[in-house]
Amino acid sequence: MQLIFEWVAQHAIDVTPGSFFASAILSDGAVMEESRGRDDFQLHGVLLPRKRVAGFGRQEVYQLDTLPAGLSTLEAVPSQPLQVPDDLDQLTFEVNTNMFYDQGLFSHYLSLRISKDSTYQEIPLSSPVVAVDWPSRGVYRVKVKPFLRAALWGGERPLIARFSPRCAEQWEQILLPEFGF
């Protein structure tokens, strides 16, 4: 299946010359080479909420002289569509950045946008359906929990029986309607 993955700002993010955001997708622990992406910011600016911070499958450098003239917001170039396994449970998103050295800030400021055809879903990294591993400073591994796959692209209702009654109730009242259930 072909999907587009992008990192999106939840809150305004300051960038300075030398800021970078490198990402790749791991499938069963191995890097999918075509997924490698890197965004280098060689300017002072602000990435506004709901704007792309970085993407997969391409490398881009943002400099003042390469941006469109006139007033426009700073935003990363769109990602390339990637062929990924149908079993999204295998995927882990790896990030290496100097924009966030703390896992709490990383989770607070970013969401993962997953697009299929003309539909997309943004998943805040602070969501309980996302696990963020922090193996070293500025390096993160993000995994979307398995039951979310069905919620994203239709199919059967996600299994919530394994969670505490309070968590299941939150899913019933808040999150499931957002995914169209």
Beta bridge partners of 6: 55, 113
Compare 8 and 171 and report the one with higher pLDDT: 8
Tokens coding 15: 């960038």
pLDDT in tens, 42-81: 999 999 999 999 999 999 999 988 777 655 788 999 999 9
The predicted model gives 164-178 an average pLDDT of: 57
The reported pLDDT for the residue numbered 23 is: 97
H or E stretch including 170? helix 165-170
Give the start-end residues of each E strand in the chain: 2-9, 13-15, 19-27, 30-31, 37-41, 45-47, 52-55, 59-62, 82-83, 91-97, 110-116, 119-124, 130-136, 139-144
Looking at residue 23, its amino acid is: S
Nearest residue to 31 via CA among 114, 90, 81: 90
* Residue extents of the structural domains in the chain: 2-146, 156-181
5 forms beta bridges with 114
- Taking the C-alpha atoms of residue 175 and residue 181, their distance in angstroms, rounded to an integer, is 9
**Using only C-alpha atoms, what is the Rg of the chain?**
17
* pLDDT value, residue 124: 92
DSSP 74: B
Closest CA to 10 of 118, 112, 141: 112
For residue 161, name the pLDDT band (cuts at 50, 70, 90): very low
Q: How many helices (H) and strands (E) does the chain have?
A: 4, 14
